[in-house]
Amino acid sequence: MDTLLIEGTQKTPTVRFDASKGLVEIKGRSIPENSIEFYRPLVEWLEKYATEAKSQTQVNIQLEYFNTSSSKCILDVFKKLEAIHKANSGVTINWFYDQDDEDMLEAGQDYESIIRVPFKMMEVEG
């Protein structure tokens, strides 16, 4: 299965989904013109990955900002990860947030309350 690599821009995050390592990473800003179009390949990749998921999948989410339309798409990504987790494949989501960014911490906690996957809140120094 191919690795999904998308270089980040000022409006879109860097994406690195590596099936061979069981690694899913999204970093940067997420304010794309069309969130659904941007996130569709990520969701499709996870659907394929679900059929051959590693015994452990590590998810690193390190967003400095995301808009409302991105938040729904990120939830769709998490729902795919939840399905992988429910299929007896270990999934851990590391939610990184700047120590001064209460909003990003709360966003991670909101996702954690919706998705039945273990979350680790990871504070980083700004």
Mean pLDDT rounded to a whole number for the chain:
96
Domain ranges, ordered by start, for the chain: 4-124
pLDDT given at position 125:
87
pLDDT band at 46 (very low <50, low <70, confident <90, very high): very high
pLDDT given at position 103:
96
Q: pLDDT tens for residues 69-111?
A: 999 999 999 999 999 999 988 999 999 999 999 999 999 999 9
pLDDT given at position 4:
98
Question: 3-state SS string over the chain?
Answer: CCCEEECCCCCCCEEEEECCCCEEEEEEEECCCCHHHHHHHHHHHHHHHHCCCCCEEEEEEEEEEECHHHHHHHHHHHHHHHHHHHCCCEEEEEEEEECCCHHHHHHHHHHHHHCCCCEEEEEECC
CATH architecture of 4-124: 2-Layer Sandwich (3.30)
